[in-house]
Amino acid sequence: MISFPNCKINLGLNIIGKRADGYHDLETVFYPLQLTDALEIIRADATDLSPQSTPVFSTSGLPIPGDQNNNLCIKAYQLLKKDFPALAPIKIHLHKAIPMGAGLGGGSADASFTLQLLNKKFNLNLSEKKQIEYAAELGSDCPFFVINQPSIAKGRGEILSPLTLNLSAYNFVLVHPGIHISTKWAFEQIKPFRQNPPIQEIIETPIQNWKSTLFNDFEAPIAAAFPEINTIKNKLYETGAVYASMSGSGSTVFGIYQKDITHNMHLHFNHRVDQINGHSIA
């Protein structure tokens, strides 16, 4: 069984305060886009699993750093295995196209799609609510990819309220400068404060207003450490973007364009560029 975990961008991101549990309260809009990885899950022989019930895991595409046993796809399987001991052994193959440490939520998407694939493949009959609960155990962004529609996110990112946001009249240009940003490091650069008005109010105003009203709190400190962020953002505006911002904790910068002016955007940058239609994902 194969699925295609998609990325997200953040439209605005306010870090409101630090919590007693060490996490931060935030407010943002998650918006899904069709830049995808590819995820395949098949049954495996019992002999393929380690005593710790670790699936056989292989990858292609972009290299994934670190210990494979810590990959969120494996953790998703092990999380379900605790509650469903009879869950069959599996092999997972992940083709990675969404860059990592880029503010696009690719790892979170892979984890959530693993939960959803396992639910479908083995008829676990998990409700959406239960899948969200499992996803929240894997990471703050993971519940969003169960809903996978434009949403206001609060709390640490797991409190989601779907909203009507139609950006189908626009294309998105994503520029990844090849910089890996540690989320932990990014949060260490932030001094939380409460933004007024709330992002939900700003997002309901015309997109032409967002340049002066809709901000990502991570952008200024990260751009100070990596000036390429501002260079890319300025180039996006110079080439006609209606709105441009860094996504999440970086380092991807996106521009939103009228559909008739994004051709040959790759000619303007020395970095990876992806052009994506603005239709929401059904």
The residues annotated with a catalytic role in the active site are 8, 141
Query: Across-strand partners of 96?
Result: 61
Using DSSP's 3-state secondary structure scheme, residue 104 falls into coil
d(CA 253, CA 219): 10
Using DSSP's 3-state secondary structure scheme, residue 29 falls into strand
The answer to whether the beta carbons of residues 157 and 140 sit under 8 Å apart is: yes
d(CA 110, CA 41): 12
Q: Which two tokens stand for residue 60?
A: 């292609």
Amino acid at 217: D
d(CA 158, CA 141): 6
